[in-house]
Structure 1
């Protein structure tokens, strides 16, 4: 990879981002979540999600994509915190990057673009040690909160805050 660009997703990219979303989920969660998490029904859900994000930007949600050599390689989104009660006003909702590009700096650029240094929270799979290390390097710490993933036998998510 010679470099990457962080930018706002375009309306005509919803399908490509939905497919990237499923591909990154399969890379990260294979063996942890059932294959249905990135199957056809999941694709319909992701496509609907990304069509909304790409077509109707809102002031309280910021999404970006990472592109390299004309190819989408990652994405991130943050917005108003949905936890009740919220530990902070902002929440990282998602950040995913193709596995072979983790460590390239693109993930850091995505996080910086959607959150900057602002106080925020996020939920991460407890046994995803690589992601947790990334968040710790960015000032996040587990606050003791946990919740099930929604997939049987997939462990819990933990909340991290800064």
Structure 2
């Protein structure tokens, strides 16, 4: 049942948001993948995430990262990139994560809209993440049969969706 709360406030992220985005990213991984990802991978992401996000967000030529906040706290983020020649779509939704407690409040929908609009796009999603696949199907994406292993301890396989 959808929440009656409005969507979170969304804005372009800046370098000062790096620690908050890293924390949401890690928490979403725990919520989404759980024991499929080894503890040492989580520990490495916890240690390196803030610095990696700081570097990414300080790049003036980097993609825009959209940050969703509720009551001043980060609850999700999204990022799309132009992957370049040789890809099936000119745009790729690289990241879209929303905390479990925020799901169902249209925050993910609004992040998706800001990141890619209605453009033809590709994305990769974990093959067993039925909720995410359903969300993307609702927004016009379909599986195309492609899959790949993810370097997260070898426990994850992603499937590609296209719109």
Assess same fold via TM > 0.5: yes
Q: Does 1:44 align with 2:44?
A: no
1:70, distance to aligned residue in structure 2 (A): 0.7
Q: Report how many residues are paired.
A: 159
1:87 counterpart SS class? coil
1:85, distance to aligned residue in structure 2 (A): 2.4
Q: Does 1:143 align with 2:144?
A: yes
1:118 aligned partner: 119
Distance, in Å, in 2 between the alignment partners of 1:69 and 1:144 is: 40
- Judging changes above 3 Å, is the alpha-carbon distance between structure 1 residues 38 and 152 closer, same or farther for their aligned structure 2 residues? closer
CA contact (8 A) 1:26 1:35 kept: no
1:7 aligned partner: 11
Moved over 6 A (4+): none
RMSD value over aligned CA atoms? Answer: 1.8
- Report the more deviating stretch, 152-161 or 132-141: 152-161
2:88 aligned partner: 87
Distance, in Å, in 1 between the alignment partners of 2:156 and 2:40 is: 17
Q: Which has the higher contact order (CA 8 A, sep 6+)?
A: 2
TM value normalised by structure 2:
0.89
- Which runs of no fewer than 5 residues in structure 2 stay unpaired? none
1:101 aligned partner: 102
TM value normalised by structure 1:
0.89
Distance, in Å, in 2 between the alignment partners of 1:119 and 1:99 is: 27
Matches within 5 A, 1:146-157: 146-151=147-152, 154-157=155-158
2:72 aligned partner: 70
1:2, distance to aligned residue in structure 2 (A): 5.2
- Which runs of no fewer than 5 residues in structure 1 stay unpaired? none
- Judging changes above 3 Å, is the alpha-carbon distance between structure 1 residues 30 and 87 closer, same or farther for their aligned structure 2 residues? same
